Amino acid sequence: MQVDTKSRRGEGRRDQVTKGSEKLPPDARLFAHPRLEICGAIARRAGVSFRLLCDELELSDGNLSAHLRALENESIIAVERTFDGRRRLSQYRLTDAGRDRLRAYVEWVQSFARALEPHVAEAASGRVSVVARLDSER
């Protein structure tokens, strides 16, 4: 029995997206904005509170909560919930696996930027925009 992998919008194409011969890393969607910002804020200090993340990243409670839940489900972050009287306190930290995955993703982004740099510099020195150059190559 053959399974149609292109039945849902975008499915099947994800494996086709490449940078030269290098595929996008599997965590590219996981670390999309604002989740990359969230992970960065958590990585900078241990035990970041929910309120501090809300204020620093200017996200609504519901939006931040959904992103944190997704990161927790992927074992990128861990949460410690305690109580101060009746008030619930949540402290977030990167897991060891989450730190490794974040580091690998950042290294891939840096590699991608280095590979793109000569093309951007060439376009700037020749006073040709990257968009115009790409249009001319079609």
Predicted confidence pLDDT, tens digits, the chain (138 residues): 444 444 444 444 444 444 444 577 778 878 888 999 999 999 999 899 999 999 999 999 999 999 999 999 999 999 999 998 889 899 999 999 999 999 999 999 899 889 888 887 776 666 555 556 556 665
Specify the pLDDT at position 17: 42
Token pair 């590699």 is found at 111
Specify the pLDDT at position 14: 41
CA separation for the pair 89, 71 (Å, rounded): 18
- The residues, ordered by sequence, that sit 6+ positions from 63 with a Cβ below 8 Å of its Cβ are 34
The residue extents of the domains of the chain are 23-136
- What's the CATH number for 23-136? 1.10.10.10
Specify the pLDDT at position 134: 59
